[in-house]
Amino acid sequence: MKLHELTIRKAQELLRNKEISSQELTKAVLDRIAQVEEKVGAYITIASDSAMKEAMLADKEISKGNIAELTGIPVAVKDLICTKGIRTTCASKILDNFIPPYDATVITRLKTAGAVITGKLNMDEFAMGSSTENSGIKLTRNPWDLTRIPGGSSGGSAAAVAADMCIGSLGSDTGGSIRQPASHCGVVGMKPTYGRVSRFGLVAFASSLDQIGPVTKDVTDCAILAKVISGYDPSDSTSVPRDVPDYPSFLTKGIDGLRIGVPKEYDTAKGLDPEVLAAVTNARKVLENLGAQCVDVSLPNTEYAVPAYYVIAPSEASSNLARFDGVKYGFRDKDSNNLMEMYKNTRSKGFGPEVKRRIIIGTYCLSAGYYDAYYKKASQVRTLITEDFRKAFEICDVILSPVAPTPAFEIGEKADDPLTMYLSDIFTLSANLAGIPGISVPCGFSSGGLPIGLQLLGKHFGEEVLLKTAYNFEQATEFHKKKPEI
């Protein structure tokens, strides 16, 4: 196995035994980036110099016997997580030259654990999109088929892991933005419970929905990375003061008696590809053969998740993105004659079309006379969706569903049809509205050789049950072992 193909767990083992050095591993990853970045386009910023310095320091710590969970392991980060001294653009022209003066809490935790940061990954601008086609910087392609999208908005995070351009990565999930690209790229991606991982230093899209999570090559790596980044942070008012379980210790064989809920609403969902349904049905049989018991559950308000989300998320985005005005930081239009003109021109030139669309929707929904009709109603629907899950989890331990209705579609296929693009999030949005954790694990391939993911949803702060279920499924199948040929 080549060094850049290693998992986090295997790399940990080799580094501990001094069979490889962090500098060798980091150089192998940087060489891999140089080899395939032109084809895939996963990175916005490659931090080669600082990564090699961090690797050198990691080797010194290893030689002294000071080894933390990620010492010397190259990890890449979605480009809306602040990194001190490394450009953070949110894939937007408005932040093209922004270099944060501080690290996000998750970056501080990665560094404390000894990780080497290889760079910042491409995404839909301000995380608004499901295909990474909305990036204002570049196009990212799916490593399994370079004519197809990698998913979004964490498309760069999933593509980089799938193409071995990092050993693991971080993404963010506001409506499926970790799980959906993980599904499309054949890797593992988890959205933790809202409040489990600090959002301090995450550039906000929709503050009540955003959550940072790991994207990795297998479930074991997901557990390792999730443990490192989780935990209470007083700098984030939405962070929950709960102890973090030792996630890797839950990865044991055996799910006898586990109750898996199968929502009747998902089988008849509009636009569900027969190949996706077949792969998920097969995954259900695998879990049943492992001793799990499938039970029917109902999530009656599922059909309202998409409209509710596309009121709440743009409303919060409209408020959050007001700070990008050309005054404090980022791009400023220099051709304006007065302040109002400068505001208008800066935002017109700095934001891309999808971001403008969502700001307009959100501002409308929050405007006088419409707030009760839209935002308030959507918030009430959100409460009903949360209640649906609470009732479902009274009779099951995890819920099983597809991640996306179809495998990865072709680049440009849905670019002129925002509504169809929005509907591609139908299976993932509900978890964000309810604040529950969800994981995507590879469960099959389409007839065209494209990866298909299985989604498992859990109770609030039930990540360990999700990880154990996903691990048992992964150990019983071979899907995670297949690699794209680039």
pLDDT per residue over 448-476, tens digit each?
A: 999 999 999 999 999 999 999 999 999 99
pLDDT per residue over 245-270, tens digit each?
A: 999 999 999 999 999 999 998 876 77
> Tell me, what's the pLDDT at 69?
96
Residue whose token pair is 């970045």: 37
Do residues 406 and 273 touch, judged by C-beta distance below 8 A? Answer: yes
Q: Is 172 a catalytic residue?
A: no
Average pLDDT value for the chain? 96
pTM for this model (two decimals): 0.97
Token pair for 408: 């990865």
Is residue 222 included in any domain, yes or no?
yes
Is residue 303 included in any domain, yes or no?
no
Is residue 371 included in any domain, yes or no?
no
DSSP-assigned states of every residue in 283-321: HHHHHHHTT-EEEEE--TTGGGHHHHHHHHHHHHHHHHG
Is residue 248 included in any domain, yes or no?
yes
Q: Is 153 a catalytic residue?
A: yes
Is residue 310 included in any domain, yes or no?
no
Catalytic residue among 27, 78, 120, 468: 78
**pLDDT bracket for residue 178 (50, 70, 90):** very high
- pLDDT > 90? residue 416: no
- pLDDT > 90? residue 403: yes
Is residue 368 included in any domain, yes or no?
no
Q: In what order do the strands lie in the sheet with 74-78?
A: 43-46, 116-121, 74-78, 168-173, 211-216, 188-191, 438-445, 451-458, 398-402, 259-263, 293-297
Structural domain span for residue 179: 3-254
> Tell me, what's the pLDDT at 419?
82
Instruction: Return the closest-CA partner of residue 123 out of 175, 172, 74, 161.
Output: 172
Q: How far apart are CA 435 and CA 227, in angstroms?
A: 18
Q: How far apart are CA 52 and CA 445, in angstroms?
A: 37
**pLDDT bracket for residue 391 (50, 70, 90):** very high
Is residue 385 included in any domain, yes or no?
no
Catalytic residue among 153, 230, 401, 424: 153
Residue whose token pair is 């022209």: 93
Residue whose token pair is 């978890």: 431
- Mean pLDDT, to the nearest integer, of 444-449? 97
Q: For residue 220, what is the domain's CATH number?
A: 3.90.1300.10
Q: How far apart are CA 169 and CA 119, in angstroms?
A: 10
> Tell me, what's the pLDDT at 268?
67
pLDDT per residue over 304-342, tens digit each?
A: 999 999 999 999 999 999 999 999 888 999 999 999 999
Q: Is 84 a catalytic residue?
A: no
Catalytic residue among 177, 198, 318, 430: 177
Q: How many Cβ atoms are within 10 Å of 39's Cβ, its own excluded?
A: 12
Is residue 398 included in any domain, yes or no?
no
pLDDT per residue over 91-139, tens digit each?
A: 999 999 999 999 999 999 999 999 999 999 999 999 999 999 999 999 9
- What's the structural domain count of the chain? 1
- pLDDT > 70? residue 283: yes
